[in-house]
Structure 1
């Protein structure tokens, strides 16, 4: 049994293997990653704080002088090195995660207006969290490989038999705290994301199992 099979449910769109090109699996993978990127874009447009991993990238950038982009890349590399003891494997979903979420995020930020009221910002945050959480859960159930951070979450859940909500929330809070201590900027959106996203993913996974 692989890490993914131990944590994630089998679905009608689950792929036969991590590099499968089955249409049902592929279209769900593409849709769900774009949905997650859209949700990420809404959080950016709300402008009330970045996601915890972005805060960590900011902190590393402040301390080292490297760009936030390179800091984010460095974090991804380090996180993926942690995959080896967890016996995780790269799949098509891993590659598309890096490409499509960034693409959808960019389009969302470019074409949607930024909210100017607190009611509008709150709506963007709520919709962004739901879209990101649902998109994350759906793409993981394709069983085609996880992104660097999601893979770490799934691997830890499998290794220690813990709930997705507990592991994801612990990771997000730890990353948020570390990023803040290094000089990253934390906002209300950051805290909401850190405390809620793991449980949203877990709830969606439980619904899918029904």
Structure 2
């Protein structure tokens, strides 16, 4: 079962090490493709108007209690998460940098070109599809092994330390972050709950599909 998967699969186009400045074309392609899907999913979640992601709820909650914008808080949270990488022995790579760039671009494209559904049921459906796309995109780019984004690197590092299934680790992270953000005053919607409880299984499913497809 994909819910029990504990390791990032190693396939023919996976990089041998995260810090690889000259990866194979196929490795770089799948990294960018996965990040594009990841960003598309994040953008669709925002466009759905069904609720922000748990980390955005955390940033909103903190911003309500300190005199800083949500954008600045988001950057500070990313820096704090990267600091946690040190005891977890996680290593950055070009994927860590491209994570922010590609995902940011895809979010902007979605906001500009994808309309928000007028029907609430369609908004929920769009949010559900968004979570699945984020999970599948995450599975592809993590298998490339060229460095994870801050949150995904934290997930991988914690999984290695605890030896728990990836779905459980990611789910616990998102639910904890969402709960703290909500307690601090952040707004939680149905989309937030879908992301918090669904992203762990979605990422695990993405990793499972990629691992089976290329082995």
Residue 27 of structure 1 and its aligned partner are, at CA, apart by: 0.7
| Secondary structure at 1:156 match in 2 | helix
1:118 has 2:120 as partner: yes
Q: Give the TM-score normalised by structure 2.
A: 0.92
Residue 7 of structure 1 and its aligned partner are, at CA, apart by: 2.0
CA RMSD of aligned residues (A): 1.2
Residue 45 of structure 1 and its aligned partner are, at CA, apart by: 0.8
1:28 has 2:25 as partner: no
Q: Give the TM-score normalised by structure 1.
A: 0.94
Partners of 2:191 and 2:171 in 1: CA distance: 14
Residue 207 of structure 1 and its aligned partner are, at CA, apart by: 2.7
- Give the equivalent residue in structure 2 for 1:13: 13
- Give the equivalent residue in structure 2 for 1:159: 161
Q: Which runs of 4+ in 1 moved over 6 A?
A: none
| Secondary structure at 2:200 match in 1 | helix
| Secondary structure at 1:145 match in 2 | coil
Structure 2, gaps ≥5 residues long: 1-5
- Give the equivalent residue in structure 1 for 2:3: none
1:52 has 2:48 as partner: no
Residue 98 of structure 1 and its aligned partner are, at CA, apart by: 1.0
Structure 1, gaps ≥5 residues long: 1-5
1:150 has 2:152 as partner: yes
Residue 31 of structure 1 and its aligned partner are, at CA, apart by: 0.9
| Secondary structure at 2:118 match in 1 | coil
Residue 203 of structure 1 and its aligned partner are, at CA, apart by: 1.8
Provide Cα deviations, 1:72-103, integer angstroms capped at 9, x if missing partner: 00100111111000111110110000111111
Partners of 2:147 and 2:135 in 1: CA distance: 17
Partners of 2:152 and 2:83 in 1: CA distance: 13
Partners of 2:34 and 2:208 in 1: CA distance: 17
- Give the equivalent residue in structure 1 for 2:98: 96
| Secondary structure at 1:63 match in 2 | coil
